[in-house]
Amino acid sequence: MTDRDEYELDPDYYKHGGFPKFEVARPGEGFGRFLTAMRRAQDLAVSADPDPDTWSAAADLADQLVALLGPFEAAEGVGPANRVPSLPGAGSLLMPPYRVTQFDSDAVELTVRFSRFHVGGNYAVHGGVLPLTFDSVFGMVIHATGRPISRTAFLHVDYRSVTPIDTELTVRGWLREAEGRKAFVNAEMRDPDGTLCAEAHGLMVRLLPGQP
């Protein structure tokens, strides 16, 4: 869907709830290095067990990082997070590091690798992380099929087997049915052997003009 198509379908397309128009960001090589280091820091934050002095030193360094970046805090859609498709997770630490391998009206497919940061117990991915991943895929499906800005009305997840960390998984989402403002979306996650880890279905509803 082009910008003109969006406007002709709904003149207030980019005013729904004040949604910013997201465009690809080019923050420079340092941002990718920063994200890689931060993802590793997240893993260590939930797995490291150093002595008290080391924790204090780590806290000092974290304080320095906050002080360095604090003056540059920006509004949504201005900072590069979630706007760099070439980086894992599109450059967002909120998301697990995924990479899109298919993006068209038939389906959206991506690979994702969860790590120690995402563990819920017994080295398996926390069940609450999977709805986050599926919800993001649902949003991609909406864009890939050319539908207007929508929000999730409901999302149901069925857990079929343990989802492992440190394994490249495949997630596939597709539009099952569309009816007016409603889009019914399905998705599934499989391990390298094809085992179904989890599947989801949900309802995405097109926003009305001015609706947040």
Determine, yes or no, domain membership for 200: yes
pLDDT band for position 209 (cuts 50, 70, 90): confident
Determine, yes or no, domain membership for 212: no
- Average of pLDDT values for 191-202? 98
Q: What is the CATH number of the domain that holds 28?
A: 3.10.129.10
Domain around 142: 3-206
More confident position, 148 or 28: 28
Over the stretch 25-51, which tens digit does the pLDDT of each residue have?
A: 999 999 999 999 999 999 999 999 999
Over the stretch 112-131, which tens digit does the pLDDT of each residue have?
A: 999 999 999 999 999 999 99
- Average of pLDDT values for 159-172? 98
Determine, yes or no, domain membership for 12: yes
Q: What is the pLDDT of residue 176?
A: 97
Q: What secondary structure, in 3-state letters, does 41-55 show?
A: HHHHHCCCCCCHHHH
Number of domains observed in the structure of the chain: 1
Mean pLDDT score of the chain, rounded to an integer? 92
Determine, yes or no, domain membership for 182: yes
The pTM (predicted TM-score) of the whole model is: 0.89
Q: What is the pLDDT of residue 152?
A: 96
Say yes or no to pLDDT of 8 above 70. no
Are the CB atoms for 169 and 137 separated by under 8 Å?
no
* Of 16-20, 98-102, 151-155, minimum mean pLDDT range: 16-20
6-12 LR contacts (CB < 8 Å, sep 24+): 6/148, 9/148, 10/148, 10/209, 11/209, 12/209, 12/210
Q: Which phi-psi region, left, alpha or beta, contains residue 17 (left: φ > 0; alpha: ψ -120 to 50)?
A: left
Determine, yes or no, domain membership for 211: no
